[in-house]
C-alpha cells in the first residue's frame, strides 16, 4: 500500500478536513475540498485540474472511483465543476465527470 498522493496543481492545493479519512493509494490533485467526516476509499482519483471539486460532510467515496470536472467552453463559460453534497454515498468504481450530486 502506498500513502495517499495529495498534490497541488496550478497553484491550488487540496483542502481536506482533519476528520476526513483518505485511504492509502488515493490520488487527490488540485482544487479539491473534502468536508468533515467524509471518507475516500482505496485507489480513488480526484483530479481538479480544469475546474473545482467539492465533497461535502459525511460523504463516502468508495474504492476505485474517479472524479473529474469540465473546463470552460463557449457553451459553458464556467465549465462544469463536480459537486458532491453532504451525506452522499458514491459506490465502487463510479466515474463522475462535471456532475452535481445533491445532499443525501
Tell me, what CATH number does 20's domain have?
A: 2.160.10.10
- The secondary structure of 87-98 as a DSSP string is T-EE-TT-EEES
Residue-wise pLDDT for 57-66, tens only, equals: 999 999 999 9
How many distinct structural domains can be found in the chain?
Answer: 1
State the chain's mean pLDDT as an integer. Answer: 96
* pTM, two decimal places: 0.95
Range of the domain at 50: 5-101
pLDDT for the residue 26: 98
Cell reading at 48: 481538479
Residue-wise pLDDT for 85-103, tens only, equals: 999 999 999 999 999 999 9
Beta-bridge partners for 82 = 53
Amino acid at each position: 500500500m502506498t500513502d495517499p498522493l495529495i498534490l497541488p496543481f496550478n497553484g491550488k492545493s487540496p483542502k481536506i478536513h482533519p476528520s476526513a479519512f483518505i485511504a492509502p493509494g488515493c490520488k487527490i490533485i488540485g482544487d479539491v475540498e473534502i468536508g468533515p467526516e467524509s471518507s475516500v476509499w482505496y485507489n480513488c482519483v480526484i483530479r481538479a485540474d480544469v475546474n473545482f471539486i467539492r465533497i461535502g460532510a459525511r460523504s463516502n467515496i468508495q474504492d476505485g472511483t474517479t472524479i473529474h470536472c469540465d473546463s470552460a467552453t463557449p457553451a459553458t463559460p464556467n465549465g462544469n465543476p463536480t459537486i458532491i453534497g453532504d451525506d452522499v454515498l458514491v459506490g465502487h468504481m463510479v466515474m463522475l465527470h462535471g456532475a452535481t450530486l445533491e445532499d443525501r
